[in-house]
């Protein structure tokens, strides 16, 4: 990344209280950007608030479902870079109660894109899709040419996000890129129904971790600090070379798929609690059994390479949760 690109840039981050949003916001501040965060709910234990990142940014209170609010934020703060991360991201929540997920993920995205279309200041927009947008395919790993075939509520919402973004890029020439990440992990994920934070939490509490699937579901993973760096890189590339990078989707992962059982066992081992054997619940429904990605395009086009290995990311994540549970008294 160019040293002189980010200082003073006015950047809007939607979803900045989430796992990736908090790390991306901090990374933007570290490179000198002027950050505006769109915050729907105050989550006291989120990294954004707990680590006082929120005190260093301008805050607009509200959700992406509110189009006039999004448009006002873009115009009043003269935003020229947008990272659209706001979404309902828990697959099981989407399956149980799909309407809020569809509202936030689909309506929220078209609101952001339409507000960007009507803004004269925009130089770069990065829209968060997901590997789930591909749906279930028999040929793996997915590359960016694979069709988008979401079948269940969360997957469908992300297929729609992806298609909306590409429609606005192609029809209106919006300078945007699309990210499709493997499963993100890192300190600050407070959705303990997810495998990695849930396993770490269980081990800290001296309990055997529980796996909702049969343990054999396969996923790719990306540590959150590597993901934040990927966003900065893509945002800069779109702004500086829009003709090449505009409208393009990019996969990001460690290209090292692992089963849920392997991940849980690795965490138990790293935390030196091999006496805690993961319990297989086998209750997961309407989830894709096997997903993993090719990141070749990101490596060749963006020269993106992860800084951390999967194990190094787990070490950093475990350390964050140990400190978090100690401070909050939850362990």
**CA distances (Å), origin 168, targets 67, 173, 213, 241, 242:** 16, 7, 37, 18, 14
Q: Which of 134, 154, 223, 292 is catalytic?
A: 154
Alpha-carbon gap, residue 146 to 220, rounded angstroms:
16
| Residue 231 bears catalytic tag | no
User: What tokens appear for 105 in the block?
Assistant: 């993920």
Q: Please list, residue by residue across 203-235, b when 16 or more beta carbons sit within 10 angstroms of its beta carbon and e when fewer do.
A: bbeeeebbbbbebebbbbbbbbbbbbbbbbbbb
Query: What residues are paired with 83 via a beta bridge?
Result: 13, 126
Residue 24 φ/ψ, nearest 5 degrees? -65, -45
Residues 6+ apart with CB under 8 A from 201: 192, 321, 325
Q: Using an 8 Å Cβ cutoff, are 256 and 220 in contact?
A: yes
CB atoms under 10 Å from CB of 60, counted, come to 19
Q: Using an 8 Å Cβ cutoff, are 252 and 180 in contact?
A: yes
Helix axis angle, 19-30 relative to 224-240, nearest 10°? 60
Query: What residues are paired with 249 via a beta bridge?
Result: 178
Q: Return the active site residues.
A: 154
């Amino acid at each position: 990344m160019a040293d002189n690109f980010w200082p003073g840039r006015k950047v809007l981050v939607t979803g900045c209280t989430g796992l990736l949003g908090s790390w991306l916001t901090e990374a933007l501040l570290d490179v000198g950007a002027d950050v505006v965060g769109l915050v729907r709910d105050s989550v006291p234990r989120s990294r954004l608030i707990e680590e006082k990142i929120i005190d260093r940014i301008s805050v607009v209170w509200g959700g992406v479902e509110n189009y006039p609010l999004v448009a006002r934020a873009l115009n009043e703060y003269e935003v020229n870079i947008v990272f659209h991360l706001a979404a309902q991201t828990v697959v099981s929540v989407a399956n149980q109660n799909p309407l809020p997920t569809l509202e936030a993920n689909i309506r929220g995205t078209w609101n952001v894109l339409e507000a960007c279309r009507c803004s004269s200041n925009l130089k770069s927009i990065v829209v968060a899709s997901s590997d789930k947008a591909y749906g279930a395919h028999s040929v793996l790993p997915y590359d960016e040419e694979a069709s988008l075939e979401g079948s269940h509520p969360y997957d469908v919402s992300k297929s729609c996000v992806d298609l909306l973004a590409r429609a606005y890029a192609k029809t209106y020439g919006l300078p945007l890129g699309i990210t499709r990440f493997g499963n993100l992990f890192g300190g600050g994920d407070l959705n303990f129904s997810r495998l990695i934070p849930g396993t770490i939490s269980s081990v800290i509490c001296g309990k055997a971790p529980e796996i909702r699937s049969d343990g054999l579901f396969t996923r790719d993973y990306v540590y959150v600090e590597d993901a934040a760096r990927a966003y900065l890189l893509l945002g800069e590339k779109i702004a500086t070379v829009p003709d090449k990078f505009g409208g393009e989707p990019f996969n990001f992962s460690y290209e090292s798929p692992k089963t849920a059982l392997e991940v849980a066992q690795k965490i138990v081992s790293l935390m030196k609690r091999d006496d805690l054997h993961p319990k297989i619940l086998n209750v997961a429904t309407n989830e894709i059994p096997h997903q993993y990605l090719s990141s070749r395009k990101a490596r060749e086009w963006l020269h993106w390479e992860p800084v951390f290995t999967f194990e190094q990311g787990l070490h950093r994540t475990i350390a964050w949760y140990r400190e978090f549970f100690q401070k909050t008294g939850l362990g």
